[in-house]
Structure 1
């Protein structure tokens, strides 16, 4: 990271067991991170904290991850925020929808921590899918 600043990651996940795994991985990788467990407050938190990456669950209470992704991409001030969408419904159609809405990556749950770590590094290091 230029200037020695750590990457900031926002975890948007309502399932505690998955959030704990994500929290563990982000800590181990040295990222600053925070979590929110509902879709309703996610967009406001993204605007407040301007994370480098949002780990965004598709199926959230109140507002879907797809809607959040679409809103982030519509906000020109959030153009630098990267989004990695996660879903248990990991079909090709779901993946295409997420990427079409502007997600930088898409991963199916359950995922291997190694696979997630590689995808996070790919997105944060600016490589294309």
Structure 2
């Protein structure tokens, strides 16, 4: 990825097992000017997070049991490098109970598939701005 001198692009980490979804989101967010790394949830994702220190994590949990997703996200929160990194959970689950469980301080936003890519771009922008702004 080419980067203009003096201009830092937001580093996003996209995690998931559904390759088509990952490719679609990665391609779109890169076209919006973000630097995007991706990892399969079964890979050494936690180690990757230590190396790149993302500004935002997007976690696609399709095909992953909810309990496994929440366990993984709790591990992310325990890491010093990512303890306050915003997390967007992208899921095809659309049940209130699961949504409430997911929002148990492990994620900052929840998007249900299908969604508009523009909505994702706006959610990413909001999370990045919220992190960059002192509260």
- TM-score, shorter chain, exceeding 0.5: yes
RMSD: 2.2
Aligned residue among 89, 92, 100 for 1:85? 89
Q: Report the counterpart of residue 15 of structure 2 in structure 1.
A: 12
Per the alignment, residue 38 of structure 2 pairs with 35
TM-score (norm 2): 0.80
Mapped partners of 2:56, 2:26: distance in 1: 14
Paired residues, what number?
125
Runs of at least 5 residues in structure 1 that lack an aligned partner in the other structure: none
Q: Distance in 1 between matches of 2:71 and 2:105?
A: 9
Larger radius of gyration: 2
Among candidates 95, 105, 110, match of residue 109 of structure 2: 105
Cα–Cα, structure 1 residues 33 and 104, in superposed 2: closer, same or farther, change >3 Å? same
Partners of 2:53 and 2:81 within 8 A in 1: no
Q: Is the 8 A contact 2:93 2:112 kept in 1?
A: yes
